[in-house]
Amino acid sequence: MDATMREQIANFENYPKLLPLSDSLSFGVHMSIAGGYVELLKQMTSLNATASAFFTSQPRGWNIKFPELNKTQAFYEGCLAKNLCRNQFLAHAPYLINVCSDSEDTRAKSSDRLLLDAFIARLLGLDRLNFHPGSSSDSAGYIKIAQNINDVHAIIPDIVLVLETVAECNSKTTIGSSFASLKQIIDLVTDKSRVGVCIDTQHTFAGGFAPESSFGDDLLNLFKKEIGAEFLFGVHVNGSLTKYKSGNDRHQNLHMGELPLKEIEKFIKSLKAEGLKVPCVAETPNADFYKDEIQLMKTWAEQ
């Protein structure tokens, strides 16, 4: 990002008001933005989804451009027209981002991209941006992540940066493969009202965050104990292609794979029982099951 774009973002004042807050859990899937942000709203309708996750900017490649304000505005107005709320969306920053990378070049590009994607999310009227903490061979990685969050907070109003749980529990460099690891980052963030966590059921299963036999019953309780329910800003609901504690980030559709459907059901029900009002979105490989998966999650939450 050149200095002009950074300045343009830093001096931007014409943000829309945040979209309102919904008072229930919402359910959807990760959707493509290939057709533009407004297209997400159509995809939600056709899938009977009440939530959506999407990449704020094109996920592949570092090329960036200043957002087209007529397009973010059209999304915002579309949400108002359909009574969609900010906690029905979980924007996701590109996987490329690694703000604590050992490479200075990657760190610089990642910081810019996190800022840009937070800017876009806020232009859409949203309040949360999900990203992966990153990996670093250095114990200062945690400090770098927190510093990036603080930096974004200083420039973009309202935005909550949402750290995702990751599966790589056997890696010495990947950050975020336990609740304690995410808590370490949160502890270093100045404004704790604007940092949160996204629990991914596949990552936490493959990462061994909760015991295998009582996974769905214990996951939220452990999160509450180690971090706190108020820090939950979103959930990724995925089945697992790989075994418990495999350390591999490999998603499967909900009714298939190694993570029993019953455990996913228990986890969704625990969110409902806790009165949480967060977007729950599947990032599953086979889109043929999207409609059924959304309906299934809704049914669990109603029971």
Interface stretch with Zn ion, choices 3-11, 12-20, 41-49, 194-202 (CB under 5 A): 194-202
Q: How many C-beta atoms lie closer than 10 Å to residue 233's C-beta?
A: 24
Q: In the complex with Zn ion, which residue's Cβ is closer, 9 or 57?
A: 57
Q: What is the size of the binding site for Zn ion (CB under 5 A)?
A: 3
Q: In the complex with Zn ion, which residue's Cβ is closer, 122 or 236?
A: 236
What's the rounded Cα separation, in Å, for the pair 97 and 169? 19
Q: In the complex with Zn ion, which residue's Cβ is closer, 164 or 263?
A: 164
Find the shortest distance in angstroms from Cβ 283 to Zn ion: 5
**Near Zn ion by CB under 5 A: residue from 112, 117, 127, 164:** 164
Q: In the complex with Zn ion, which residue's Cβ is closer, 44 or 53?
A: 53
117 with 105: CB under 8 angstroms?
A: no
Contacts 24+ apart (CB under 8 A), 221-225: 221/270, 222/179, 223/179, 223/197, 223/199, 224/274
Q: Is 236 in the site for Zn ion (CB under 5 A)?
A: yes
Residue 226: exposure state from Cβ atoms within 10 A (0-12, 13-18, ≥19): middle
Find the shortest distance in angstroms from Cβ 233 to Zn ion: 13
Interface stretch with Zn ion, choices 48-56, 193-201, 211-219, 288-296 (CB under 5 A): 193-201
Find the shortest distance in angstroms from Cβ 206 to Zn ion: 11
Find the shortest distance in angstroms from Cβ 174 to Zn ion: 13
Interface stretch with Zn ion, choices 73-81, 138-146, 192-200, 295-303 (CB under 5 A): 192-200
163 with 183: CB under 8 angstroms?
A: no
What's the rounded Cα separation, in Å, for the pair 101 and 108? 9
What's the rounded Cα separation, in Å, for the pair 97 and 245? 25
DSSP 236-271: E--EESS-TT-----EE-TTSSSS-HHHHHHHHHHH
123 with 156: CB under 8 angstroms?
A: no
Find the shortest distance in angstroms from Cβ 199 to Zn ion: 9
Mark 25-64 with x for binding to Zn ion (rule: CB under 5 A) and - for no binding: ----------------------------------------
Find the shortest distance in angstroms from Cβ 236 to Zn ion: 4
Q: In the complex with Zn ion, which residue's Cβ is closer, 200 or 218?
A: 200
Find the shortest distance in angstroms from Cβ 92 to Zn ion: 6
In the chain the first and final C-alpha atoms are separated, in Å, by 49
235 with 199: CB under 8 angstroms?
A: yes
Residues that bind Zn ion in the complex, under the rule CB under 5 A: 164, 200, 236
